[in-house]
Amino acid sequence: MLKRVIVWVALAVPLAAALALLVGYLRSGNDCAAVTAATPDRPMQAIIRCDYGGPEVLRLESIERPEPGDDEILVRVRAAAVNPLDWHEMRGTPYVMRLSSGLRKPKDLRLGVDYAGTVEAAGARVTRFKPGDEVFGGRSGALAQYIVARADRAVAIKPPNLSFEQAGAVAIAATTALQGLRDAGQLRAGQKVLINGASGGVGTFAVQIAKAMGAEVTGVCSTRNVELVRSLGADHVIDYTQQDYTAGDLRYDVILDNVGNRSLSGNRRVLAPEGRYVLIGGGGPDAGRWIGPLLKPLQAVLLSPFVSQHMGMHMARLSNEDMNVLASMMQSGVVTPVIDRRYPLSQSADAIRYLEEGRARGKVVITVD
């Protein structure tokens, strides 16, 4: 009897899980039709998507402008930026992310996180900001003329020596670089750090931040980007078309891997015995639809307990504290955002399409009229 019960339970659990996913899939949806059909009282232009897919699903629509709550500020966006996060959210890949973002259709119609702009209104309990303040930060839905943001979250006063376009390129990439080096990598002055993908969005910030922390920096990039990476302060630059960094003789205390194009065993070979490997990204928009770029981080995490080196991954956690740390670095001039291309809001699809090619040097910025 007990054996029969165990068999039935073993069959029932996966069946119930599959049924729950099916019901969730069929019931998942969004209010896109209602949003686009309504005539807004306070209109603004924003990039939205009603379905998952490639850049062709992105649309510039006139929707209702948000109003700030008591703890929020209303920001007139002057510039934003696109990140790999945006193409993952746009496509709904890897599919596992749809468990939270919507199985069949995206729950959140808006896209974008990085922004910079001017405070237009502040809630009754907001004391840190006032109308007219120039700010930058990270908030979902940034590809729009206006956003509302919690005043105690990832937002800070824009350094006066930065343009809106530069400040609008900071939030995700610079925070990822800072936290990847400082927290996950535990980088200290005098240590050797290698940054794979040193000419990309995260990489251009990472080279500058690592130098500001007093590290000896080696950047890995293609031939056309060698001089760019060197100009950012890298002590050594490896052209990956001429040399495989995992075949070299040097050993690094920290490896910040923005590409994930070398094996974990190869990275371990050039990592110091007690070194730290921090995987940030890797893989394009078509790199595995179910788990995608999560596979190598999972392998690193599983390997770490069995080796002397620390093998792991890092995802940025946007915060007010780190926005202010970055603001201080940029105001002092030790960190300057690198901008590759600029696109108007109406061409956000082209901006993401270009980013997906994996050839961007620094950040791809969206200008907002």
- pLDDT tens figures, 42-86: 999 999 999 999 999 999 999 999 999 999 999 999 999 999 999
- pLDDT tens figures, 238-271: 999 999 999 999 999 999 999 999 999 999 999 9
Residues 6+ apart with CB under 8 A from 301: 311, 312, 313
The pLDDT, as a whole number, for residue 7 is 45
> 136, 192, 132: which is closest to 161 by C-alpha?
136
Does the pLDDT value for residue 291 go beyond 80? no
Domains in the chain, please, with CATH? 32-170+337-367 (3.90.180.10), 173-313 (3.40.50.720)
For residue 81, the surrounding DSSP H or E stretch is strand 72-82
How would residue 9 be classed by pLDDT, with cut points 50, 70 and 90? Answer: very low
Q: What is 251-296 written as a DSSP string? A: -EEEEEESS--S-HHHHHHTEEEEEEEEE-----TTS-SSSGGGHH
